[in-house]
Amino acid sequence: SQTIHQWPATLVQPVGSPLSLECTVEGTSNPNLYWYRQAAGRGLQLLFYSVGIGQISSEVPQNLSASRPQDRQFILSSKKLLLSDSGFYLCAWSVISGRNIQYFGAGTRLSVL
Amino acid sequence: QKEVEQDPGPLSVPEGAIVSLNCTYSNSAFQYFMWYRQYSRKGPELLMYTYSSGNKEDGRFTAQVDKSSKYISLFIRDSQPSDSATYLCAMERGNMLTFGGGTRLMVKP
């Protein structure tokens, strides 16, 4: 069966520090991969998605970037965090064809202080 | 206007009640419709997905889609305290999902 791992679960970082969040998927090949941010009490905002290694599409221009160095690995990064980057970050995957049913990781709660 | 509208709640019901959660949408290009449940500080988990208009049942949960009215619903029968969570509707178009803002449900014993 497929599983998605996301870490760390909680992260507290100072303003101006770098960020690296990692997501890996097991049990499937060539998945679509997604990064979302969820603000408190609000819906999911799509940040990046990838349909293959090295293929990244950005939905919202901002202080963040994403990379997909391996088929089942998706990384969210920032060179310098802003206060506004605080939030709940979620990674998701879906099969590359057919229904786009997305399955989510447990999320990373990021606090930028 | 948002593409997908969902009442944020909170919706508070007694244990055993029938719960109705709803979303409206404006884009007729949406093809698949999903409901996710999200417990506090956890990732969303898929509850149900539907394609065509009509009803789909899974245990205590029934998903209903009315494409002509651009309206979807999730019904929960015999609600339990463990159903207390935020429920997100989601709609698919191409490679993307568009999510509603979520409705927070509280089921009181």
Tell me the nearest-neighbour CA distance from A63 into chain B, angstroms: 22
Task: Between B57 and A2, name the one with better pLDDT.
Answer: B57
The string of pLDDT tens digits covering residues B21-80 is 999 999 998 988 999 999 998 999 999 999 878 899 999 999 999 999 999 999 999 999
| Whether residue A42 has pLDDT greater than 80 | no
Strands B61-66 and B19-25: what pairing? unpaired
Strands B61-66 and B54-58: what pairing? antiparallel
Sign of the alpha-carbon dihedral angle for B23, B24, B30, B32: positive
List the single best residue of A4, A23, A38, A42 to mutate versus B (max B Cβ within 10 A): A38
List the single best residue of A104, A108, A110 to mutate versus B (max B Cβ within 10 A): A104
pLDDT of residue A41: 64
Q: How far apart are CA B67 and CA B90, in angstroms?
A: 14
Report how far apart, in Å, the C-alpha atoms of A41 and of each of A45, A50, A84, A112 are: 12, 26, 16, 18
